[in-house]
């Protein structure tokens, strides 16, 4: 079997990669939207938090893609997939960044 060919179409690593792509895109968009809505209240801090959240989401996206490639190669060579917690950690950090910005906005009377 050629090395670029999928180990087993529809296998869990492919579905997981697609789910991570959607989740990371949602985190990045939410970070930037939160920055936009908190700009008047927090100024430069909201821009920093928005870019930090989007950057963490991008990091999680690339970590998930790297994890997929690693799992694909492991499945093809050994028949078992290894996992990593890096995408989960980066995704969690992105979600916490967005949540912190939203909580700060709400508690400051921005609504």
Residue 81: its pLDDT value, please? Answer: 58
Residue 10 has pLDDT above 70, yes or no: no
> pLDDT band for position 1 (50/70/90)?
very low
32-54 pLDDT, tens per residue? 998 888 888 888 888 888 898 89
For residues 28 and 110, give the distance between their C-alpha atoms in angstroms, rounded to a whole number. Answer: 22
Tokens representing residue 95 in the block: 């979600």
User: Cβ(34)–Cβ(101) under 8 Å?
Assistant: yes
- Predicted TM-score (pTM) of the model is 0.65
């Amino acid at each position: 079997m050629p090395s670029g060919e999928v180990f087993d179409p529809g296998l869990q690593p492919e579905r997981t990669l697609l789910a991570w792509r959607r989740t990371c895109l949602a985190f990045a968009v939410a970070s930037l939207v939160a920055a936009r809505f908190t700009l008047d209240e927090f100024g430069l801090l909201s821009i920093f938090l928005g870019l930090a959240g989007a950057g963490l989401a991008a990091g999680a996206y690339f970590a998930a893609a790297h994890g997929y490639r690693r799992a694909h190669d492991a499945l093809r060579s050994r028949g078992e997939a290894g996992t990593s917690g890096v995408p989960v950690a980066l995704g969690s950090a992105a979600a916490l960044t967005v949540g912190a910005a939203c909580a700060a906005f709400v508690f400051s009377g921005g609504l």
